Amino acid sequence: MTISPFLRPQASAGSPAHGPTRCRLGLAACLMLQTACSDASSSASSASEATTPPAKADPTNAVPKDTRFTVQSIKTFDEPWAMTFVNDDTLLVTTQPGKMYRLHWPQSLIGAGASVAQPEIVEIGNVPDVVFEGQGGLGDVIAAPDFSDTGLIYLSWVEADDKGLSGAVVAHARLVEEAGQAPRLADITRIWEQTPKVSGAGHFSHKLLLSEDGHLFITSGDRQKFDPAQDMEKSLGKIIRLRSDGSVPADNPFSAQGELARQFWSIGHRNLLGIAQDADGVLWTHEMGPKGGDELNRIERGENYGWPIVSNGDHYSGEAIPDHPARPEFNAPELWWTPVISPGSMIIYSGDRFPDWQGQAIISGLSSEALIRVTLEDKIAEVGRVDMGKRMREVEEGPDGAIWALEDGANADLLRLLPKQ
Ligand SMILES: [Ca+2]
Ligand SMILES: [Ca+2]
């Protein structure tokens, strides 16, 4: 465990993801060398800002500010993918290769200080077998609101058929622990699968959200197959809305367009690794654009978000895709990024440790190696970026009001951020 002050180098929205201003030492080294690292970067950054083009088309977007943090490294995982606090002393972490861990602290995290004790960590048994390939594997985990009574969680993973075609699956299960035994999953009940299964190992998305009114939203990526995002007979490239028991609500918007379409809440999506609901009940998602054009979308019932017909990015081949303004019948993003940020997950912050951040979206960035703050009030804009020096896979708000983040990849740290006093 390390506890170190971490001063982010000055950076603007215009700093390239791999620009010259960043500390290339990695977060651990930055933590140890924070004074030298941040001082050196500050002066280099001024020169760079003058010549770096804006990160997005809107030049009025506020320039992110320096912020000082205390960063505590809690644990290291192999290829962590998602996490969720199930109560005020317990965190579940999934890893892409297929492990799920329970981290339990000896006392509530509420009100915890600059550092927290080392958690007890145990591997959860009876986790379903997963196909770990490309972007696939064990996926998201979220807890039901009555978890403390029922142990009910929802999880997603990737499976393959006997032809090797793959797709995401969502189930609910109970986390149970009997005396003297390790915790395990029981009563695993499949409630949804991506249809059809296809070749390849990309764009599963399979992030989960239980809305305030008790619906289960599932992000279903386009599996890098493009056109299925507009196909009402395929559940790829869609946002799915189910009841919490997995049944299909009668009031979904595409109910008249076929058996599969009854599940759809919105269509025309690409790869959505973040979904969150704000205090007003508005649903927000982000999705990775192709070459350019990462999006933050306000999700409206029954809307078409245009992929692959429109995108503010273009194909990797260089082939152009018309930008959103060319086809106003499709819902355009509220905010978009070129160069891309590669959004990996998103929360909407509500804690009191960062009072200025309340109501803002915080997005964990992969290629941008940052935590990106976006205000959702009035003008939707990026207002801050915390340079982490590592690809950030997942972000959560802890019961302590701290920002918790998982790095991406092997030997990836679970980090806890608080404002530096
Ligand atoms: Ca999460
Ligand atoms: Ca375009």
What does the pLDDT look like over 127-186, one tens digit per residue?
999 999 999 999 999 999 999 999 999 999 999 999 999 999 999 999 999 998 999 999
Check pLDDT > 90 for residue 260.
yes
- 335 C-alpha to center of ligand 2: Å? 14
pLDDT score for 4: 39
Per-residue model confidence as pLDDT tens digits over 379-419: 999 999 999 999 999 999 999 999 999 999 999 999 999 99
Distance CA 364, CA 414 (A): 13
- The CATH number of the structural domain formed by 2-44+54-419 is 2.120.10.30
pLDDT score for 64: 61
- 327 C-alpha to center of ligand 2: Å? 11
- 355 C-alpha to center of ligand 2: Å? 37
Asked about 172 being catalytic, the answer comes back as no
- 274 C-alpha to center of ligand 2: Å? 22
The two tokens of residue 390 are: 């590592």
DSSP 184-238: EEEEEEEEEE-SS-BSSS---EEEEEE-TTSEEEEEE--TT-SGGGG-TT--TTE
Question: What are the domain boundaries of the chain?
Answer: 2-44+54-419
Ligand having the closest approach to the CA of 295 = 2
Check pLDDT > 60 for residue 36.
no
Check pLDDT > 90 for residue 21.
no
Query: Before 249, cis peptide (omega within 30)?
Result: no
- 142 C-alpha to center of ligand 1: Å? 7
Confidence of residue 378 (pLDDT cuts 50, 70, 90): confident
Residues with CB under 5 A from ligand 2 (ion): 314, 321, 323
pLDDT > 90 fraction of the chain, expressed in percent and rounded: 81
Confidence of residue 56 (pLDDT cuts 50, 70, 90): very low
Check pLDDT > 60 for residue 5.
no
Per-residue model confidence as pLDDT tens digits over 342-361: 999 999 999 999 999 999 99
Ligand having the closest approach to the CA of 155 = 1
Ligand having the closest approach to the CA of 156 = 1
Per-residue model confidence as pLDDT tens digits over 261-274: 999 999 999 999 99
With b for 16 or more beta-carbon neighbours within 10 A and e for fewer, the 131-159 pattern comes to bbeebbbbbbbbbbeebeeebbbbbbbbb
pLDDT score for 16: 33
Per-residue model confidence as pLDDT tens digits over 283-312: 999 999 999 999 999 999 999 999 999 999
- 399 C-alpha to center of ligand 1: Å? 13
Mean pLDDT, to the nearest integer, of 211-218? Answer: 98
DSSP state of 331: P
Per-residue model confidence as pLDDT tens digits over 77-104: 999 999 999 999 999 999 999 999 999 9
Sequence-ordered strand ranges (E) for 78-132: 80-87, 90-95, 100-104, 120-123
pLDDT score for 333: 98
Check pLDDT > 70 for residue 61.
no
Widest distance between CA atoms in the chain: 63
pLDDT score for 10: 32
- 268 C-alpha to center of ligand 2: Å? 15
Catalytic residue among 104, 172, 203, 206: 203
Of the candidates 295, 328, 299, the one whose C-alpha atom is nearest the C-alpha of residue 312 is: 295
What does pTM read for this prediction?
Answer: 0.86
pLDDT score for 420: 87
How far, in Å, are 142, 183, 184, 191, 208 from residue 176 at the CA level?
15, 6, 6, 20, 21
Bridge partner list, 288: 271
Ligand having the closest approach to the CA of 92 = 1
